[in-house]
Amino acid sequence: MSDQTATAAIDIRKTSKIYGRDRDTGVVALDQVSLAIADNEFFTLLGPSGCGKTTLLRLIAGFEQPTEGEILLFGEHLEGLPPYKRPVNTVFQHYALFPHMTVAENISFGLEMLNTPASEIADTVKEVLGLVQMETLADRKTDQLSGGQQQRVALARALAPKPKVLLLDEPLSALDFKLRKEMQVELKRLQNETGITFIFVTHDQEEALAMSDRVAVMRDGLILQVGNPNEIYDRPAKRFVADFIGDINILKGKLLSQDGAQATVKLEAGYEGNAGLPMDVTNLGGEVSIAIRPEQLSFVAEAGAADLSGSIQHISYFGSGFDYEIMLPGGETIMLQLQNRGAGKRAYSVGDQAHIAISENSLQILAD
């Protein structure tokens, strides 16, 4: 473990940022956050606005200084270093391209500041323009570019000086849906090709799941959970994480027994089975919240094969499938999501009694 932290691209140790005089009267934007981001990782900070994700990014870039704690870049302390002495570059939310310079001048700016020889600058500019597929627009002024093109220039500009870490502050939020999808693929490709560590800030869970190697979910200046997209989606540790990412059912139940990260639970609605257990839940025999994704539920024909039963309250269509809202005997409602492919499916309508099966290993206990 210590070996891994020593080589971390970014190592954040108990770092806090407090705006104002002190913890009690000021605003705590980041609260004792510790986080290690590995080299060559596509790491995403995900959370709602005001959760501290942008603050964390600005601390790494050097635009803000931490109130307490330390930040290391490949083992070297960053505290006290101004932004221009940190080998990290930022892609800003609104790109912040220099309007009085051409695309090529924008991209060469960082290299010039590093006193790179002119011939090398020309080569690099060409190389990164190729990387973002903008070779033909080198001599344009930046205000003659579309939003997507500006985005690419901003990326090229930040990549040109070959930073050790690239920081991306919600760079896709200003793009329309289709372009955003395209850029997600593009960003992932760029990260693979350059081998540079990307730290990506977003409030969009879909973006986070689509691109990241690992995701940190943040709220109120705290990191709630760190894990790969699978873990975050399938094994959310906290109620907030489960709620924030995708659709989820949260049911009441009882913790019957536990064995490491596994537990047996009994849902209030009747079902008894295995569930994933986060570390900080220990109230054996007590009430717990249990999460299950709507797509982990399915209809079965016979009552004997069913884990749960209930009556259908509401059906909504979303194109590739249906969401069924089902009232369980205990009064809880549960959402079941069904894709409309496959044959032999019977059509349900509101008011029908339905039998539901739960996929194996899909229950997850949540901490509050």
Partner 1 sequence: MVDVTAAARKKVKDIDLKHQPGFSQIAWFCIAVLYAPIAVLVLFSFNENRSVTIWTQFSLDWYVKAWNNEGIQHAALVSLEVALVAMLLSTIMATMAALVTTRTAPYRGMNVAVAVINQPLMVPEVVTAVATLIFFAIIKQLTGISGIGYLIAAHTAFCVPFAYMPIRARLEDMDLSLEQAAADLYAPPFKVFRRVTLPLLMPGILAGAMLAFIVSLDDVIITLFVAGPGETTLPLYILGQIRRGVTPEINAVSTVFVGISVVLVSFIFLSGKDKK
Can you give the binding site for partner 1, defined by CB under 8 A?
A: 61-63, 82-85, 88-90, 92-94, 96-100, 109-110, 113-114, 157-158, 161
DSSP lists the bridge partners of residue 326 as: 312, 334
Cβ neighbours, 10 Å, residue 221: 22
The residue (of 82 and 117) whose beta carbon lies closer to partner 1 is 82
The residue (of 88 and 232) whose beta carbon lies closer to partner 1 is 88
CB of 187 to partner 1, least distance (A): 18
Which among 226, 160, 202, 189 is positioned nearest to 8, based on CA atoms? 226
Give the neighbor-by-neighbor strand order of the sheet with 297-300.
297-300, 353-358, 308-317, 321-327, 333-339
CB of 81 to partner 1, least distance (A): 11
CB of 144 to partner 1, least distance (A): 11
Which among 150, 145, 100, 104 is positioned nearest to 127, based on CA atoms? 104
The residue (of 58 and 219) whose beta carbon lies closer to partner 1 is 58
The residue (of 197 and 364) whose beta carbon lies closer to partner 1 is 197
Q: Give the start-end residues of each E strand in the chain.
A: 10-19, 27-37, 42-46, 68-73, 76-77, 88-91, 165-169, 197-202, 214-219, 222-227, 249-259, 262-267, 272-276, 287-292, 297-300, 308-317, 321-327, 333-339, 353-358, 364-366
CB of 101 to partner 1, least distance (A): 9
The residue (of 153 and 292) whose beta carbon lies closer to partner 1 is 153
CB of 168 to partner 1, least distance (A): 12
CB of 164 to partner 1, least distance (A): 13
Q: Give the 3-state secondary structure of residue 296.
A: helix
**Which residue, chain included where needed, has tokens 């991306």?**
168
The residue (of 59 and 97) whose beta carbon lies closer to partner 1 is 97
